[in-house]
Each structure stands twice: as structure tokens, then as C-alpha cells.
Amino acid sequence: MYEYGRGVIPDIEQAEFWYRKSAEQAGEKAQLSLDEMFDEGHGAVLDEEQATYWNIKSAEKGHV
């Protein structure tokens, strides 16, 4: 919701905060979202290491 401003004012920092909170609790969709944020630099600094980390985590949960 925060990433795209659905019902709230867009706030990429809040989006990353909540994605990370969910991803750390094995939320595979949040893991994939963090991967995309770091891989594409959307709201986060481009960070190949972080992108790869979250990509692997989401893949372990079945995302291809």
C-alpha cells in the first residue's frame, strides 16, 4: 500500500520497512518485493547483494 499509495500517501521508506518486517518472518511476497526494490533501485539504493539475498529467500519459498 505504501509503495503504490493505495489508500495512503506513497512512502517508499515505510514500504521497505513493512516489506522487511514481513520478509524477516518468511513472507515470500515481501521477500520478492524487497528483491525487486534493491534490484531495480525502486525506492531503495541499487544493491545487488541485498537483491540476491531476498531473491534466494523468495525462491526457497517457491517463487520462480
The one-letter code for the residue type at 33 is S
Spell out the alpha helix ranges (H) of 1-64.
12-23, 28-40, 48-60
pLDDT digits (tens, 9 = 90+) for 16-48: 999 999 999 988 899 999 999 999 887 778 889
**pTM metric for this prediction:** 0.81
DSSP type of residue 9: -
Please report which confidence band the pLDDT of residue 1 belongs to, taking 50, 70 and 90 as the band edges.
very high
What is the pLDDT, as a whole number, of residue 40?
87
Choose between 23 and 63: higher pLDDT.
23
Is 37 exposed, middle or buried (CB count within 10 Å of its CB: 0-12, 13-18, 19+)?
buried
Q: Is residue 1 within 8 Å of 8, Cβ to Cβ? A: yes
pLDDT bucket at 14, cuts 50 / 70 / 90: very high
30: which 3 cell numbers? 515481501
